[in-house]
């Protein structure tokens, strides 16, 4: 069954339930036509909701109806570049990508429903968290955008962690700012606005300098009791900045913190043109607080309640668990961020995940094509992932490091993708693929073991989402073994962060009085949704533990590769 057939069947079943249609009376074709008419009316009446997320390699737009079902989407492929020692995207990349993504959404709507778009009930923007975008009073970007992927703030992160007694990772905005101060960079005295990518886009479209609390928690530590920046730490940073001769105060340059559900401004006429070059989109549409991809991942997996967690796997990978209480001490490999509604979250973030797998799959596809074959990349991924199930539990003496960039969890400022095997290793395709999937989760396991084993953090439900989980049961079972925890993948796991952002935008305009985000998700979005859960297999757990032991010892070789190649 192809993806379109799966989508049709999903819509059919959903229509049977929501509209109480009799499957004997209504055929699949008739249900599809009914759903198309409903979607067209929803779009034309301005009741649809738009979510757009800037991922590392793709900008994605998802349009949802009043029942939170995706009804259209658009996309734009993009890549960061490594320039002058910095991972970055240009402003032109950002705006060209956004306009193309939105244009593709309009095209999808026109082809599916034959209507145009003039208005939405609400809009939400999300993006890769963290990073460093700084602007002067005239709105000029003063240095190239420094993304989360950079590991160039080690000195600042270490000093701030000690000053605050709170873990400040290298990728956080405040670490980038303090490193620029320590470096004596000329621009720091002229900063008028410190922003992330999502906050910047929201500001340009609304004129409002605001951030959702989840996004803000990746800029500067949050006082979860107040839902705002930790004032004691703000005071400490202001003292550090003043000692360097800087006159601005931190709160003057940071965005205002908002919680999920709060109003965050409306689309201006200028903003509408930035999004839709045709001029058809109307101004005045309400926007919800901009969020980070971690927050949208939590929403997309219904994991905003305590003792729930999720693993989001893509170019990077992170695990998040909503905490019941504070950790006993500061851990450099565990971030403390928040849900979009302000609850504390323990987060293990790794910069590298699927990129190396993609590179190897592309190489194997090239080999097939060189031999006269044709390749369906989607089918090739499925074939190779299923082949991995035939491999040895410990990968048979093969080791892979997927480090395209540096990795804070294992204390590497740069990366070199590396595949190693012992002379007597069981070198076959099954072990080769299993090794690379293990590698995608190996660094994450290091941090999660501290949180779950050492700190005793309780997780009732752990959800996996991202492209690596598309092949049924493969990566899901391996992750369960890596973390020795049951892992669930929901029907909506493939919808992604853009869908989660659309849900947050819908929550803002549709929530009942005093309705929490947790209740809204549980009752109005995920009620009745099914998922599949895989419990950890003892044999695989032992195999992954053996692989991990060798993997950690072999990091010395990875570090040597960084130093010498």
Instruction: Write down the domain spans for the chain.
Output: 1-44, 51-113+125-291, 298-351+446-534, 355-443+539-564
Spatial separation of the C-alpha atoms in residues 436 and 455, rounded to whole Å: 29
Going by pLDDT thresholds of 50, 70 and 90, the confidence category of residue 25 is low
Percent of the chain with pLDDT over 70: 94
**Residue 154 vs residues 157, 161, 336, 416, 565: alpha-carbon distances, Å:** 5, 11, 18, 19, 21
Q: pLDDT tens digit string along 205-246?
A: 999 999 999 999 999 999 999 999 999 999 999 999 999 999
- Domains 51-113+125-291 and 298-351+446-534 fall in the same CATH topology: yes
What mean pLDDT comes out for the span 191-199? 98
What pLDDT does 529 receive?
76
The three-state secondary structure class of 308 is: strand
Q: Reply yes or no on whether the pLDDT at 302 is more than 70.
A: yes
* Consecutive H or E run containing 282: none
Q: Tell me, what's the pLDDT at 36? A: 84
Per-residue pLDDT, averaged over 459-477, amounts to 89
For 383-426, write each residue's pLDDT tens digit: 999 999 999 999 999 999 999 988 988 989 899 999 999 999 99
- Is the domain covering 298-351+446-534 a CATH 3.30.420.40 domain? yes
Read off the pLDDT of each residue in 275-290 and give the average, rounded to a whole number: 97
Instruction: Look at residue 130 and give its three-state secondary structure.
Output: coil
Q: Quick one: which of 523, 444, 528, 519 has its CA closest to 478?
A: 444
Confidence grade of residue 490 (pLDDT, cut at 50, 70, 90):
confident
**8 Å CB contact between 217 and 343:** no
CATH topology of domain 51-113+125-291: Nucleotidyltransferase; domain 5 (3.30.420)
Instruction: Place 530 in a pLDDT band, splitting at 50, 70 and 90.
Output: confident
User: Which of 211, 225, 227, 355 lies closest to 294, judged by CA?
Assistant: 211
Residue 4 in this model has a pLDDT that exceeds 50: no
Whether the predicted pLDDT of 311 surpasses 80: yes
- The confidence band for 7, taking pLDDT boundaries of 50, 70 and 90, is very low
pLDDT band (50, 70, 90) for residue 491: confident
Predicted confidence at residue 493, as pLDDT, reads 60
Contact 35, 489 (CB under 8 A): no
Higher pLDDT, 172 or 490: 172
* Res. 85: pLDDT tops 60: yes
Q: Is the per-residue pLDDT at 26 higher than 90?
A: no
% of the chain surpassing 90 pLDDT: 82
Contact (CB, 8 A) for 558 and 407 = no
Query: For the segment 61-81, what is each residue's pLDDT rounded down to a tens digit?
Result: 999 999 999 999 999 999 999
């Amino acid at each position: 069954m192809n993806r379109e057939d799966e989508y049709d069947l999903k819509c059919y079943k959903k229509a049977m339930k929501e509209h109480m249609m009799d499957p004997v009376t209504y055929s699949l074709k008739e249900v599809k036509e009914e759903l198309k008419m409903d979607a067209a009316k929803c779009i034309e009446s301005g009741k649809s909701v738009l979510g757009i997320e800037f991922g590392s390699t793709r900008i994605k737009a998802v349009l949802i109806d009043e029942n939170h079902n995706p009804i259209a989407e658009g996309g734009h492929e993009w890549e960061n570049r490594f320039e002058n020692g910095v991972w970055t995207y240009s402003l032109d990349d950002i705006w060209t990508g956004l306009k193309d993504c939105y244009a593709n959404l309009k095209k999808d709507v026109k082809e599916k429903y034959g209507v145009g778009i003039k208005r939405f009930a609400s809009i939400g923007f999300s993006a890769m968290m963290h990073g460093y975008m700084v602007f002067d009073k005239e709105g000029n970007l003063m240095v190239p955008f420094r993304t989360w992927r950079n590991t160039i703030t080690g000195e600042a992160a270490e000093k701030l962690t000690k000053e605050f007694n709170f873990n400040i990772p290298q990728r956080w905005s405040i670490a980038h700012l303090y490193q620029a101060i320590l470096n004596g960079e000329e621009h720091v005295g002229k900063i008028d606005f410190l922003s992330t990518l999502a906050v910047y886009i929201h500001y340009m479209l609304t004129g409002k300098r605001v951030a959702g609390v989840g996004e803000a928690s990746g800029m500067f530590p949050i006082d979860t009791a107040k839902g705002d920046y930790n004032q004691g730490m703000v005071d400490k940073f202001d003292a550090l900045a003043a000692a360097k001769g800087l006159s601005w105060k931190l709160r003057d340059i940071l965005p205002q913190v908002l919680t999920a559900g709060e109003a965050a401004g409306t689309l201006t006429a200028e903003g509408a043109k930035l999004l839709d070059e045709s001029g058809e989109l109307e101004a005045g549409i309400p926007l919800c607080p901009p969020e980070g991809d971690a927050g949208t991942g939590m929403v997309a997996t219904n994991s905003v309640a305590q003792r729930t967690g999720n693993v989001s796997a893509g170019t990077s990978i992170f695990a998040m668990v909503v905490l019941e209480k504070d950790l006993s001490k500061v851990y450099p490999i565990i971030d403390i961020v928040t849900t979009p509604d302000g609850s504390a979250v323990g987060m293990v973030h790794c910069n590298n995940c699927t990129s190396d797998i993609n590179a190897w799959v592309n190489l194997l596809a090239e080999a097939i094509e060189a031999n006269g074959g044709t390749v369906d990349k989607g089918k090739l991924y499925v074939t190779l992932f299923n082949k991995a199930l035939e491999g040895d539990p410990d990968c048979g003496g093969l080791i892979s490091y997927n480090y395209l960039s540096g990795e804070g969890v294992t204390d590497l400022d740069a990366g070199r993708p590396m595949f190693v095997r012992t002379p007597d290793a069981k070198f076959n395709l099954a072990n080769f693929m299993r090794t690379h999937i293990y590698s995608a989760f190996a660094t994450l396991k290091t941090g999660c073991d501290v949180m779950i084993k050492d700190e005793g953090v309780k997780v009732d439900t752990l959800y996996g989402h991202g492209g690596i989980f598309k092949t049924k049961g493969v990566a899901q079972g391996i992750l369960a073994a890596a973390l020795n925890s049951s892992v669930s993948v929901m029907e909506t796991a493939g919808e992604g962060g853009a869908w989660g952002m659309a849900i947050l935008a819908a929550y803002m305009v549709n929530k009942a009085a005093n309705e929490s985000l947790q209740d809204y998700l549980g009752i109005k979005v995920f009620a009745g949704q099914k998922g599949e859960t895989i419990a950890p297999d003892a044999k695989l757990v032992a195999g992954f533990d053996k692989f991990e032991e060798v993997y950690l010892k072999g990091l010395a070789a990875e570090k040597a590769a960084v130093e010498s190649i």
